[in-house]
Amino acid sequence: MSDIDVESIRAAGAAIGEAISVFMLNPDTFEKSLAAGYPDPFAAYFAGRGGVLGDVTGTTLNAVFAVFEPNLARSCWENGTAVHGASESCRLYWEQIANFGRKYLTGAEGLDRLAALGEKVIAAAPEPGLPLYAGWRAMPLADDGPARALQVMMVLRELRAAVHFNALTISGLSPVEAHILNHGTDYAAFMGWQPPFDDAAGKAGLYDDVEAVTNRRMAQIFESALTPAEADELARLSVAALDSLKASAPPPVGS
């Protein structure tokens, strides 16, 4: 069992996930995506986030993204890459992340340290079975602290998401059931699924198991790179970065 406190793993994962969601669902990001010529922000999101996979089919993209309604994932990917190809879309998205950090994260506590600790985890984490993470970890990081910190948080988010998707796949829960158990039917609808929804009654224990497997594996990865004190520090700095983003950036759409 890892010596790293699982609460640090949960805290870091939650803060990093929410911080990147602030970027992904932000009016500022949506505006920049439309200005880049995409027909809508979600075409930009799928093409940008998925662009590191290369020129894959919409079916492959959906398989990797795992939790979206398949027709939505395929259509958004195709609409986005029709404007800018996969490699250019991910480059634009990476640049947007950097600029978002510069605009809204400057002045947050310990950004250089957050990036350094996160990079230690990224260097130690394996790639097999984690395709989006593998793609994003290969992207060149910005030199300045605010941009680099948010980019590192993006890669860490993809690491945890990929581990989580693997755990979810082998659990037997459907993506819809997982959404309902985690955030409810409104969130399932936001992810493209339509009623009648799968009945998730009595399956909360399975979702708890998915979370436990995710946290256990992330603890193992963190332990290969960080001391317990460093893991606690990364969690604390991630929470501080999230607080800074929430204080300075416009609220995400739908919040």
Specify if 185 maps to a domain.
Answer: yes
Specify if 253 maps to a domain.
Answer: no
CB distance 223 to 102 below 8 Å: no
Number of domains in the chain: 1
Specify if 165 maps to a domain.
Answer: yes
| pLDDT tens digit at each of 255 positions of the chain | 458 999 999 999 999 999 999 999 999 999 999 999 999 999 999 999 999 999 999 999 999 999 999 999 999 999 999 999 999 999 999 999 999 999 999 999 999 999 999 999 999 999 999 999 999 999 999 999 999 999 999 999 999 999 999 999 999 999 999 999 999 999 999 999 999 998 898 999 999 999 999 999 999 999 999 999 999 999 999 999 999 999 999 998 876
Our CA dihedral for 154, 42, 139, 250, rounded to 10 degrees, sits at -40
Specify if 110 maps to a domain.
Answer: yes
Specify if 255 maps to a domain.
Answer: no
- φ/ψ region of 139 (left if φ > 0, alpha if ψ in -120 to 50, else beta) reads beta
Phi, psi dihedral angles at 3 (to 5 degrees): -80, -10
Specify if 69 maps to a domain.
Answer: yes
Query: pTM of the entire structure?
Result: 0.96
Sign, CA torsion 237/144/103/124? negative
Specify if 219 maps to a domain.
Answer: yes
Specify if 30 maps to a domain.
Answer: yes
Q: Which domain holds residue 65?
A: 8-248
